[in-house]
């Protein structure tokens, strides 16, 4: 019940005028149901039995008029209900997406992309039915039922009492089935999320799938998950399918009893055929909204199952958020400092006792074997994660005391995993600052050595790069990312192994573009190839999450310690690679 009340908050903005008008239409439509039994009685008694020509002359027009009004009212409530329902879907999806966007990076590894997509699409569709369709049914069918019950008792309280014995008997099994349907629906939605995730992985990773000849394996994986979705869905459908015949069976007992008792009364002269038909008409009309209401309870349970999954996400608090007293960060001018910083993922420590000062205009490089915490250290500056202990300051101000938006606006990032959107080259470069005109975009592309290959593309800057930039080479993607960072023009720059996995020519072009990018900026470089950081103001060496030494390239080579060992190993590796290419 709490979940459903929470859902109703999304209905509140549309209560007036849309949903109110829909309810008026529903109420009018339901109220006219009470006229139908009286019409039936008039037709039977006055036309068929008494053969009254005067009644016959006007009763068809009354019937047409009533059903024309019912048709207009039905259209009004149906259209307005759909309008409100679609607006609610729009609002819930927007709210869910906005909340997902606000969550910290740590959230996403724990929740597969396909599962999140399923919650935004499939679960929200269930919520729409539970809110608008169900509320509409509750109002429309409850009103119809109430009107027809009143008419039935006014026409014949004895027959009405006989007929309504079945109603209490049907409530318990319907409520039990509804709970089962909710359980099956929730399991089905989980299975759909897994299916969406599997499909997304196989499509995005199709190059690897084909490279390893794993098409059949992926087909089998999908079919297994698809069967799981089918099994969960069919269980819910089977349970739901029981409701209607169960209701009809119960109704048949009531109808049979009424026909026997009422028919005997008509034969004996206690009731007219019109009176009996009026009551039968009311009873038949009554069971229709009652069956609708039983289906409505099922729909509500399905919607609540979807809502629970939606609110599971919306109730997750962002780990990284502005403090109540957070203020905009002042423009960076002097120092980025780490003060006794420690950090860990859960109970696993990654960084410990980090003390580091990066002065304005410096190029500081982080080196070390894989897994020592280089990228994690860099991720702490824009607050992708918060420190577990200690603090990070920019110009003496703790970064947790300023707004996240103002902090990140002063930081540009180029990583080895370049992400490009399925959009034009122009929009990918301008991402984050669409206020920049075309001249600025072209200038950034030229500085990133990207302009020449861009103008050689079919539509130039208006060429769509494909999903994740699939239409571009690795070097081209990197240069677009550099152009994006150049256009942002942030004073602090983080380069996370930006030249890794590139061929020699591409690496040279990317390196030149990076040198253009680093001009007049404070740069933190996570180095993959140590030869690219010889010009660094300072090199910081990490071992097991701690800084073990720092200095210039020449100073560290002279100490014959960790940096010297890493550099020597890389020279040997380069020599072996070069020798292999020569033999080939």
Q: What are 224-252's pLDDT values in tens digits?
A: 888 888 887 787 777 767 766 766 676 67
If residue 344 lies in a helix (H) or strand (E), which one and from where to where? strand 335-345
Query: 461 and 374: one domain?
Result: no
Query: 480 and 496: one domain?
Result: no
Query: 145 and 196: one domain?
Result: yes
Query: 197 and 238: one domain?
Result: yes
Last residue of a domain, one of 489, 512, 537: 489
| Chain center to CA of 65 | 47
- Tokens at 199, concatenated: 């499909």
User: From CA 159, how far away is CA 276, in angstroms rounded?
Assistant: 9
Q: Classify residue 433 as left (phi > 0), alpha (psi -120 to 50) or beta.
A: beta
- Tokens at 38, concatenated: 């009286």
Query: 295 and 207: one domain?
Result: yes
Q: Look at residue 541 and tell me if it is in a domain.
A: yes
Tell if the pTM clears 0.95, that is, is over it: no
Identify any residues that bridge with 540 across adjacent strands, giving them in sequence order.
366, 550
Query: 137 and 248: one domain?
Result: yes
User: From CA 365, how far away is CA 536, in angstroms rounded?
Assistant: 6
Q: Look at residue 24 and tell me if it is in a domain.
A: yes
Parallel, antiparallel or unpaired: strands 411-415 and 492-496:
parallel
Query: 220 and 365: one domain?
Result: no
Residue 303: name the closest of 177, 136, 129, 135 by CA: 129
**pLDDT tens-digit readout, 9-32:** 888 888 888 888 988 888 888 778
How many residues make up the chain in this entry? 584
Query: 363 and 228: one domain?
Result: no
- Tokens at 467, concatenated: 């999903």
Q: Look at residue 324 and tell me if it is in a domain.
A: no
Query: 264 and 389: one domain?
Result: no
Residue 13 DSSP label = G
Spatial contact of 421 and 428, defined as CB atoms under 8 Å apart: yes
What pLDDT score was predicted for residue 400? Answer: 94
Q: Look at residue 323 and tell me if it is in a domain.
A: no
Residue 525 sits in a domain whose CATH number is: 3.40.50.300
Residue ranges making up the domain that contains 259? 2-314
For the chain, list residues with pLDDT below 70.
1, 163-179, 182, 207, 240, 243-244, 246-248, 250-251, 254, 498-507, 531, 574-584
Query: 423 and 507: one domain?
Result: no
Query: 122 and 141: one domain?
Result: yes
Last residue of a domain, one of 257, 279, 314: 314
- Residue 136, Cβ neighbours under 10 Å: how many? 23
What pLDDT score was predicted for residue 583? Answer: 47
Residue 245 sits in a domain whose CATH number is: 1.20.1560.10
Instruction: Provide CB contacts within 8 A for 181, sequence distance 6+.
Output: 236, 239, 240, 298, 301, 302
Query: 478 and 579: one domain?
Result: no
- Tokens at 372, concatenated: 């020592």
What pLDDT score was predicted for residue 398? Answer: 94
Domain count, the chain: 3
- Where does residue 572 rank: exposed (0-12), middle (13-18), buried (19+ CB within 10 A)? exposed
SS3 325: coil
């Amino acid at each position: 019940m709490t979940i459903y009340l929470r859902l109703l908050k999304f209905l509140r903005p549309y209560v007036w005028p849309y949903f109110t008008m829909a309810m008026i239409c529903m109420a009018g439509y339901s109220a006219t149901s009470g006229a139908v039994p009286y019409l039936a009685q008039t037709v039977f008694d006055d036309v068929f039995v008494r053969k009254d020509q005067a009644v016959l002359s006007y009763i068809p027009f009354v019937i047409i008029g009533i059903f024309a009004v019912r048709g207009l009212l039905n259209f009004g409530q149906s259209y307005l209900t759909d309008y409100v329902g679609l607006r609610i879907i729009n609002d819930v999806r927007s709210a869910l997406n906005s909340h997902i966007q606000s969550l910290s990076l740590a959230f996403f590894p724990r929740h597969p992309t396909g599962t999140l997509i399923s919650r935004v699409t499939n679960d929200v569709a269930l919520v729409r039915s539970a809110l608008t369709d169900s509320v509409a049914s509750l109002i429309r069918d409850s009103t119809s039922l109430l009107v027809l019950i009143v008419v039935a008792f006014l026409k014949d309280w004895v027959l009405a009492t006989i007929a309504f014995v079945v109603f209490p008997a049907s409530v318990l099994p319907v409520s039990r089935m509804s709970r089962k349907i909710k359980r099956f629906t929730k399991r089905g939605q989980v299975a759909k999320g897994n299916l969406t995730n599997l499909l997304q992985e196989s499509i995005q990773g199709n190059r690897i799938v084909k490279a390893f000849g794993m098409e059949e394996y992926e087909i089998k994986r999908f079919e297994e998950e698809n069967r799981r979705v089918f099994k969960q869905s069919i269980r819910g459908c089977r349970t739901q399918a029981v409701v209607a015949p169960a209701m009809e069976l119960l109704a048949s007992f009531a109808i049979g009893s009424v026909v026997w008792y009422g028919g005997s009364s008509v034969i004996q002269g206690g009731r007219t055929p019109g009176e009996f038909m009026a009551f039968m008409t009311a009873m038949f009309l009554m069971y229709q909204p009652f069956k609708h209401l039983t289906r409505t309870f099922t729909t509500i349970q399905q919607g609540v199952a979807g809502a629970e999954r939606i609110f599971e996400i919306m109730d997750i608090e962002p780990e990284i958020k502005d403090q109540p007293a957070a203020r905009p960060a002042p423009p960076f001018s002097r120092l980025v400092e780490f003060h006794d910083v420690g950090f860990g993922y859960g109970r696993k420590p990654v960084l410990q006792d980090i003390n580091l000062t990066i002065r304005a205009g410096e190029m500081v490089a982080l080196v070390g074997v894989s897994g020592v915490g280089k990228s994690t250290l860099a991720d702490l500056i824009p607050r992708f994660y918060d420190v577990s202990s200690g603090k990070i300051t920019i110009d003496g101000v703790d970064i947790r005391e300023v707004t996240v938006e103002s902090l990140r606006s002063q930081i540009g990032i180029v990583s080895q995993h370049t992400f490009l959107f399925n959009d034009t080259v122009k929009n990918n470069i301008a991402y984050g600052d669409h206020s920049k005109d075309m001249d600025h975009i072209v200038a950034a592309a030229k500085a990133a050595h990207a302009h020449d290959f861009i103008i050689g593309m079919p539509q130039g800057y208006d060429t769509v790069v494909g999903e994740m930039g699939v239409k571009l080479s690795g070097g081209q993607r990197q240069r677009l990312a550099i152009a994006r960072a150049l256009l942002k023009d942030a004073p602090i720059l983080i380069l996370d192994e930006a030249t890794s996995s590139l061929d020699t020519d591409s690496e040279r072009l990317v390196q030149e573009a990076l040198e253009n990018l680093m001009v007049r900026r404070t740069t933190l470089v996570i180095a993959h190839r140590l030869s690219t950081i010889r010009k660094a103001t300072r090199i910081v060496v990490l071992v097991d999450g701690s800084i073990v030494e720092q200095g210039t390239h020449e100073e560290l080579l002279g100490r014959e310690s960790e940096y010297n060992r890493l550099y020597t190993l890389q020279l040997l590796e380069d020599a072996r690679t070069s020798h292999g290419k020569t033999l080939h």
